[in-house]
Amino acid sequence: MSSSLAFVFPGQGSQSLGMLAELGAQQSLVRDTFSEASDALGYDLWALTQQGPEEQLNQTDKTQPAILTASIALWRLWLANAPARPAFVAGHSLGEYSALVAAGSLGFSDAVKLVELRGQLMQQAVPAGQGGMAAILGLEDADVLAACSEAANGEVVSAVNFNAPGQVVIAGSAAAVERAIEACKARGAKRAMALPVSVPSHCALMRPAAEKLAETVEALAWQMPQIALVQNVSAAVPADIASLKRDLLAQLYSPVRWVETVVYLAEQGVLDLVECGPGKVLAGLNKRCVKGITTHSLETPDAFAAVRAALV
């Protein structure tokens, strides 16, 4: 195990049609992982990720299992091909579920079904069109928080993802998010733009989804993570399974403290982060959170080989 290495798992927004196509063509382990997920879900997940339709892949109850499965396929490939084991794992939003599987805390097929249900409950909590999210760039956290409280007018709008210094995502009811966008612009935001998502994640509107998900979470078999896992809600390693489950559920309606998570990892001596999943969203955020940390991507055969060469 390398004390300077951590694996980080991406969340929604990292999916794309054809993700992992090259590795899937070369590595049976990738396809086997998708087959396992397809058996759990009852439909062909590999076909959906490769052929679409894209609108279906972008529905939250399809996106979540797809990203988790792609992430675990890459994790299994790493374990099979590289001796370097990370000292820490963490995931951004949905990615926390991938991290839990990687750390041996939750079984893969259980996790696939759990995140499908998570997506369904999130969509039910706020019907499409009633909620919104927006990215606010170039504004201090305190100004974003002030703009949200000013724009709320009795509705929900709050800062939900602290992704990088000067990059905060807000979420809430659609009209309140629109008002908050204008309030952030008035405070000098470089950009404030609505995001194309169907669900306002990590805000108080998601509390009913968390309450419904709790029953399923309680019914699953959990182990303490075998790799130290940094959670979104606390930006810390949980003390026991009870607090792990509590914070996992609270994550649905609480902010993702990503900046603090990366800072925590750096303080533990982590120098290399491996983004274990599709896309490179986290790489862009991580380098702005902490100087001197390198984020590597595993998504293509060439990228995978380069990381292996660099870290092993």
- Whether 237 and 89 have beta carbons less than 8 Å apart is answered as no
At residue 302's C-alpha, the angle toward residues 299 and 308, to 5°, is 85
User: Residue 296 catalytic?
Assistant: no
**Catalytic one of 38, 202, 234, 297:** 202
What is the C-alpha separation between 105 and 206, in angstroms, rounded?
24
Kindly tell me the burial class for residue 17, based on how many C-beta atoms sit within 10 Å of its own C-beta (0-12, 13-18, 19 or more): middle
User: Residue 98 catalytic?
Assistant: no
Which residues fall within 8 angstroms of residue 235, CB to CB, at 6 or more apart?
A: 257, 260, 261, 263, 264
Buried b (16+ CB within 10 A) or exposed e, 41-68: beeebbebbbeeeeeebbbbbbbbbbbb
What would the 3-class secondary structure string for 196-248 be?
Answer: CCCCCCCCHHHHHHHHHHHHHHHHCCCCCCCCEEECCCCCCCCCCHHHHHHHH
Verify cis geometry, omega within 30 degrees of 0, for the bond prior to 53.
yes
Amino acid of residue 62: K
β pairing state of 131-137 and 191-194? antiparallel
Which helix H or strand E contains 301, and what residues bound it?
Answer: helix 301-311
**Catalytic one of 71, 93, 158, 297:** 93
Q: Which active-site residues does the annotation give? A: 93, 202
